Amino acid sequence: LKKIVPILAILLALTIVGGAAFWLHQSTGRPPTDRPNVLLISIDTLRADHVHSYGYPIETTPRLDQLAAEGARFTRALSNSPWTLPAHVTMLTGQEVGVHNVRYSKNALADSALTITEVMKEQGYATFGVGSAPYLKARYGYAQGFDSYDDDLAQVSYKASHESVTAGKAVNKTLRAIKQRRGENWFGFLHIWDVHYDYIPPAPYDKKFADPDYDGNFRMLKWEKNKKFRVGMDPDDFAFVISQYDGEIAWVDSQLGRLFDRLKEMGLYENTAIIVTADHGEEFLDHGQKGHGHSLFDELVRVPMIIKAPNVPVGRVVDCPAGLVDLFMTIAGWSKAPHVAYKGPGKDLTAMIAGDACNTDRPLFAETKMSNIDKLNAYKRGYEMMVEIDGYKYHNRVTKPLRELLFNIHEDPLEQKSLLDQEPKRREDMQEAMRRHSQINDKMRRSKRMSNRTKLDKKTRHQLKELGYIQ
Ligand SMILES: [Zn+2]
pLDDT tier at 161, thresholds 50, 70, 90: confident
- Ligand 1 centre distance from Cα of residue 302 (Å): 13
- Ligand 1 centre distance from Cα of residue 280 (Å): 6
Residue range 285-292: mean pLDDT, rounded: 96
Asked if residue 19 has pLDDT above 60, the reply is no
pLDDT tier at 467, thresholds 50, 70, 90: low
- 455 vs 72: CA distance, rounded Å: 41
- 26 vs 20: CA distance, rounded Å: 10
- 173 vs 117: CA distance, rounded Å: 18
Contacts of 71 (CB under 8 A, 6+ apart): 274, 306, 307, 308, 309, 312, 314, 315, 316
> What is the pLDDT at residue 470?
62
- Ligand 1 centre distance from Cα of residue 340 (Å): 28
Convert the pLDDT of each residue in 415-424 to its tens digit.
999 999 999 9
> What is the pLDDT at residue 451?
83
> What is the pLDDT at residue 202?
96
- Ligand 1 centre distance from Cα of residue 1 (Å): 66
Q: In terms of pLDDT, which residue wins out, 158 or 403? A: 403
Closest CA to 178 of 39, 307, 277, 275: 39
Percent of the chain with pLDDT over 90: 77
CB 127 within 8 A of CB 145: yes
Q: In terms of pLDDT, which residue wins out, 109 or 17? A: 109
- Ligand 1 centre distance from Cα of residue 282 (Å): 9
Residue range 21-28: mean pLDDT, rounded: 37
Asked if residue 219 has pLDDT above 80, the reply is yes
Asked if residue 195 has pLDDT above 60, the reply is yes
> What is the pLDDT at residue 21?
39
Convert the pLDDT of each residue in 115-137 to its tens digit.
999 999 999 999 999 999 999 99
> What is the pLDDT at residue 328?
97
Strand partners, 277: 42, 305
- Ligand 1 centre distance from Cα of residue 121 (Å): 26
Asked if residue 92 has pLDDT above 50, the reply is yes
Residue range 382-398: mean pLDDT, rounded: 97
What's the predicted TM-score (pTM) here?
A: 0.90
CB 267 within 8 A of CB 261: no
Residue 64: in which H helix or E strand, if any?
A: helix 62-70
> What is the pLDDT at residue 14?
45
- Ligand 1 centre distance from Cα of residue 2 (Å): 65
- Ligand 1 centre distance from Cα of residue 81 (Å): 10
Residue range 264-291: mean pLDDT, rounded: 97
Convert the pLDDT of each residue in 295-338 to its tens digit.
999 999 999 999 999 988 999 999 999 999 999 999 999 999 87
- Ligand 1 centre distance from Cα of residue 232 (Å): 27
Residue range 384-410: mean pLDDT, rounded: 97
- Ligand 1 centre distance from Cα of residue 87 (Å): 8
> What is the pLDDT at residue 455?
66
- Ligand 1 centre distance from Cα of residue 230 (Å): 21
With vertex at residue 92, the alpha carbon angle to CA 89 and CA 95, rounded to the nearest 5 degrees, is 65
Asked if residue 3 has pLDDT above 80, the reply is no
